[in-house]
Structure 1
Amino acid sequence: MIARLAHLCIHVQDVNRSIDFYSRQLGLPVKFTFEKNGKLNGAYFGCGNNSYIEIFEKPYAERINTSLQHFCFETEDIDAFIADVRSRGVSCTDKSLGCDETWQAWMEDPDGNKFEVHQYTPRSFQHQGGVAVVNW
């Protein structure tokens, strides 16, 4: 049921420096950016074949773990995915629409590593571009 790894999320110290690195130095296209309280807070980079790297600026003192925040799997039917894993006794949040207009649900592995499963919508920023306003 999992189609591919959708994205990796990385916390960075300086969002502008990281955008420069991933876009200018590595050549990854910026698909869209995130704003928080009217300020640039992150970006989404295309890595080919609908795979992405997501970054958010977050000071080291506020991070839960190291730079890698979570990974995400893409599914074509999030409702069926949630029903399937729950039927096998696996805990999974209800789906919700993220600020990037993509359906998402959250899980964690046995070691407590959180991960996301999401399903793109016709309005997903990953396909449309723009600025997603962070609301969390």
Structure 2
Amino acid sequence: MIKVKQVAHVCIFARDLEATRRFYEDVLGLDIQFNFLRDGKIFGFYLNCGGRSHVEVFQKDGTSYGDLNQITHFCLEVENIDAAIEHIQSKGVEVTKKKFACDDTYQAWVRDPNDVKIELFEYTDKSAQFTGGDRVADW
């Protein structure tokens, strides 16, 4: 029997590796865990999302994203969604307003330079992720 502990990483492709690095470091505050090198040059990196969770990024020219991709977004838990939104806006990046979702979490959305959708979550004591129970979708 397998027991899954958590999501280890999500992998994305970047049209512009340096712009992508700046976005995740400067806008979202993630640290580079390590780089991938080939022929002495960086072609990818791992971003630390806390604990043992990461976002893996590789340079891939011609990358494009659309709403028909099988993986539509990834989600990052934040401590204070209001502060996160304010910080993202201060960097000149568009972010949605905070919404209280049907699963009793606060959420907001932002896109990286490659048009990857990123959901920001702030859990509450009543979040379905902890309490369980079916929820009626409101979207």
Query: Shorter-chain TM-score: what band?
Result: 0.5 to 0.7
Identity of aligned residues (%): 40
Q: 1:67 maps to which residue?
A: 70
Give the match for residue 118 of structure 1.
Answer: 121
Under a length normalisation based on structure 1, what TM-score does the superposition of the two structures give?
Answer: 0.54
The equivalent of 1:92 in structure 2 is 95
Determine which structure has more spread, i.e. the larger CA radius of gyration. 2
For residues 49-95 of structure 1, give each alpha carbon's deviation from its aligned partner in whole angstroms, at most 9, with x where no partner exists.
Answer: 7x8xxxxxxxxxxx922211110111010001111111111110010
- Unaligned 5+ residue runs, structure 1? 1-24, 29-45, 52-62
Partners of 1:84 and 1:107 in 2: CA distance: 12
CA RMSD of aligned residues (A): 2.3
Q: Secondary structure at the match of 1:132?
A: coil
Quickly say closer, same or farther: Cα 1:26–1:134, change in 2 above 3 A: farther
- Scaled by the length of structure 2, what TM-score is found? 0.53
Indicate the residue corresponding to 1:6 in structure 2: none
Kindly report structure 1 stretches of 4+ aligned residues shifted beyond 3 Å: 25-28
Residue 26 of structure 1, CA deviation = 4.9
Larger RCO: 1 or 2 (CA < 8 Å, sep 6+)? 1
In the TM superposition, what are the counterparts of 1:1-136 in structure 2 within 5 Å?
26-27=2-3, 47=6, 64-136=67-139
Shift of the alpha carbon at 1:118? 0.9
**Structure 2: tracts of 5 or more residues without a match:** 8-50, 54-65
